[in-house]
Amino acid sequence: MIYLSSVLKRCSLAAGLLATSLAIGDPATRIETARQPVVDSYHGTQVTDDYQWLEASGTEPVKEWSRKQNERTRAHLDQFTFREGLAQELQQLRSEESARFSGLSERQGRLLALRFKPPAQQPVLVRISSLEPPTLWRPVFDPNTYNPKGTTSIDWYVPSLNGRLVAVCLSENGSEQGTLHFFDVDTGKELEDRIPRVQYPTAGGSAAWLPDNSGVLYTRYPHEGERPQADVNFYQQVWSHKLGTPASEDRLEIGKDFPRIAEIRLDSTPDGHWLLATVENGDGGDYAHYTRDPAGIWRQLTRFEDGIKAAEMGRDNALYLVSRQNAPRGKILRLPLSAEMRLASATEIVPQTKGVVQELAPADHGLYVSYLVGGPSELVFYPKGSTRAREIPTLPVSSIGGIQSWNGDDLVFGNTSYLQPFGWYSWKPGSDKPTRTALSMTSPVDFSDIEVVREFAVSKDGTKVPLNILRKKGVALDGGNPAILYGYGGYGINMTPGFDSTRRVWFEAGGVYVVANLRGGGEFGEEWHKQGNLTRKQNVFDDFIAAAGHLIKRGYTSSERLAVEGGSNGGLLMGAFLTQRPDLARAVVAKVGIYDMLRVELDPNGQFNVTEFGTVKDPDQFKALHAYSPYHRVKDGAKYPAVLLTTGENDGRVNPFQSRKMAARLQAATTSGHPVLYRSNASAGHGIGSSLKDRIAEQADVYSFLFSELGVNTSKWKFE
């Protein structure tokens, strides 16, 4: 049996791969990209791939193809006289927002956060004087002055236990290939230490400080010569570094026996004496946990099959665990830290409830827990020894994140809704309601005329799928509204409420905006996730198709005025949707998407996805993958909607060839007359770490594309 073999049955295109014929004028004109057939065999099934040559990133034929495609896309989008006005309004909205503070942390009274305020291209790591006004801040590290091009980004940072130093992971051009740097928090002075290859898109990266603040434990990928080239972005391990010594003298702590696709997150108790390594087996949502005691000895505490999905260190020398063993929404266990501790000795302190455990924060006299309830969140406090929760008031239909217990029982958390911008809040037991701190955004636009309604579409198998519908109050349900339906549906990732001031542009255009909580996410727990992964992935697409049908049936929009949008795994969703039901929407925006499900695991990050999608090496999983793989479901002569495919050339999560091949295949197949456009960006990756100017430019292109296809009145944005 042959897996992923290339039986090179080449056709007679001996003139070479540059024999492309790209029409740069009318975007509806069929584009013919050179076909170079390759036949792959999977379990006796022969699969022909005409555009496998587009996988060869960096070769002249592929670069020439991308250049011509980008020229054609620019010619199409730049013809719209309203695009420049749109871009200006988007820029103005972003510039008039107050600063956003994210990644808030506290160490020994020192407060750090990432501060983002346009026109800066990237967030700045700052030290903050207080949560209460007047809140003063000063930069610790500013990537915008470090690199005026705006292409250096902070992947993550970890302050030392005493708050005096900070480890910062930096990467370039959205690549997420990170090097660890160190800075003095008070002066901003950079130390000489630099540790390469601590971060890569495949498994991310992490660090934790040693108890005496003399160095860090960090995640490390193989260095040159340590493993074969095919393995250099796998086999993540934990290493130890002492400040002031060269990285070449660092030593291995743990990880020799970790899986090839291990993804590691490091954490510690507040005093640093106990450390925790959470090891995920790829992207499928299974975890093992290892502890390091004060003597520096590592022990395995949990296995992948134990169902422990999260763990947090408490100030009371205990480990708090979220278990989904016989509790798909999660129950909480407590386990005192000791050299003899065993998972079997953990005691249940909070049983499973109606909500899905999202985050927890142990306090001195109780436990804070945020629950996910189908998309929105709720926040509660459990006094020590009690399972009766006190609910903490939050914004209606909102999301909660970054919950932290400071100074005894004080709580700090982030809260945002579809209608209210993000803010950091504080709360003390006994308070009537949380206090909105000075680290909270204000918006240049008012959404008081917008309402959020929650309706349920019925999927093919009868499953009820929540839809969060943002609309102007009093909107007519006559089928005439332009609408965007957004979805993701994978990895147990939740589509939670979030605020975006630039949605004002869409609402001013008369638009309705909808977020679907599809299976494959974790909005209703592990069962909801498992119903949409591996061989059950088709359920996700059925849910999204049902969501589109619901919006049309209810009169929110019509098929001619409906657009669908998604990115990454959501790009796969877009590909499946447009190939299975091309009649349901007029326009599709698919960002950094996956489309060829038979070759995705050839890439490093694709191999991490095997635990979520499955593998072509398994006959049943291959059958399921081949059945829905968007690239293989494109039919010649079909009338496909207008499509905009976007990608970043430095994407280490989803190979840009996925978008190239899908664009070529759709352009060759469609007979609708609607454009199929390909847009790539040489200074971006998966979207993480992209500069502000790149993000605004892409958003202006997306809105221009949608306004044109959906027949939106654009006179407001024209400057005559």
Q: Are residues 415 and 460 in the same domain?
A: no
pLDDT tens digits along 124-169: 999 999 999 889 999 999 999 999 999 999 999 999 999 999 999 9
Q: Are residues 435 and 531 in the same domain?
A: no
CA distance 363 to 384: 9
Give the closest residue to 576 by CA, choosing from 607, 532, 608, 611: 532
CA distance 707 to 714: 7
pLDDT tens digits along 582-606: 999 999 999 999 999 999 999 878 8
Q: Are residues 376 and 514 in the same domain?
A: no
| Domain end call among 442, 467, 500 | 442
Q: Please check the confidence at residue 3 and state whether its pLDDT lies above 50.
A: no
The reply to whether 246 falls in a domain is no
For the chain, counts of helices (H) and of strands (E): 13, 39
The reply to whether 164 falls in a domain is no
Size (the chain), residues: 720
CA distance 406 to 35: 61
| Domain end call among 411, 442, 473 | 442
Element spanning 661, H or E: helix 657-669
Q: Are 459 and 536 in contact (CB under 8 A)?
A: no
CA distance 81 to 505: 16
Give the closest residue to 312 by CA, choosing from 330, 328, 297, 329: 330
CA distance 100 to 624: 43
Give the closest residue to 455 by CA, choosing from 446, 442, 470, 466: 466
* Global pTM value: 0.90
The reply to whether 253 falls in a domain is no
pLDDT tens digits along 284-315: 889 999 999 999 999 999 999 999 999 999 99
Distances in whole angstroms, Cα of residue 553 to Cα of each of 384, 466, 569, 709? 50, 16, 27, 21
Q: Are residues 368 and 498 in the same domain?
A: no
The reply to whether 626 falls in a domain is yes
Q: Are residues 452 and 437 in the same domain?
A: no
Looking at the structure of the chain, the number of domains it has is 2
The reply to whether 310 falls in a domain is no
Q: Are residues 583 and 618 in the same domain?
A: yes
Residue type at position 360: L
pLDDT tens digits along 226-244: 999 999 999 999 999 999 9
Burial 323-357 (b: 16+ CB within 10 A, else e): bbeebbbbbbbbbebeeebebeebeebbebbebbb
CA distance 301 to 316: 18
CA distance 239 to 226: 14
What is the pairing mode between strands 366-372 and 356-363?
A: antiparallel
> Which pLDDT belongs to residue 425?
97
Residues 6+ apart with CB under 8 A from 632: 47, 596, 597, 598, 626
Q: Please give the sequence-ordered ranges of beta strands (E in DSSP) within 325-440, or none if there are none.
A: 331-336, 347-350, 356-363, 366-372, 377-383, 390-392, 398-406, 410-417, 423-427, 435-440
Structure token digits, residue 76: 């199409």
Q: Please check the confidence at residue 569 and state whether its pLDDT lies above 50.
A: yes
Q: Are residues 529 and 678 in the same domain?
A: yes
| Rounded mean pLDDT, 193-216 | 95
Q: Are residues 570 and 473 in the same domain?
A: yes
> Which pLDDT belongs to residue 720?
66
Distances in whole angstroms, Cα of residue 487 to Cα of each of 66, 334, 407, 514, 568? 27, 36, 39, 9, 11
pLDDT grade for 505, boundaries at 50, 70 and 90? very high
> Which pLDDT belongs to residue 30?
57
| Domain end call among 389, 417, 442 | 442
Indicate the Cα dihedral angle 313, 315, 319, 323, nearest 10°.
-80
The reply to whether 179 falls in a domain is no
Give the closest residue to 374 by CA, choosing from 496, 544, 531, 545: 496
Q: Are residues 476 and 572 in the same domain?
A: yes
What is the pairing mode between strands 377-383 and 366-372?
A: antiparallel
Q: Which of 18-32, 66-80, 114-128, 229-243 shows the lowest mean pLDDT across its residues? A: 18-32
Question: The domain spanning residue 576 has which CATH number?
Answer: 3.40.50.1820
The reply to whether 25 falls in a domain is yes
Q: Are 358 and 329 in contact (CB under 8 A)?
A: no
Q: What is the mean pLDDT of the chain?
A: 92
Element spanning 65, H or E: helix 60-78
Q: Are residues 424 and 458 in the same domain?
A: no
Q: Are residues 591 and 550 in the same domain?
A: yes
The reply to whether 158 falls in a domain is no
pLDDT above 90 coverage of the chain, percent: 87
CA distance 421 to 398: 10
Phi, psi of 301 (to 5 degrees): -105, -45
pLDDT tens digits along 700-720: 999 999 999 999 999 999 876
Domain that holds residue 394: 353-442
Residues 6+ apart with CB under 8 A from 15: none
| Rounded mean pLDDT, 415-427 | 96
pLDDT above 70 coverage of the chain, percent: 96
pLDDT tens digits along 648-676: 888 778 889 999 999 999 999 999 999 99
Residues 6+ apart with CB under 8 A from 638: 582, 669, 670, 671, 672
> Which pLDDT belongs to residue 626?
98
CA distance 640 to 578: 7
Q: Are residues 394 and 527 in the same domain?
A: no
Q: Please check the confidence at residue 527 and state whether its pLDDT lies above 60.
A: yes
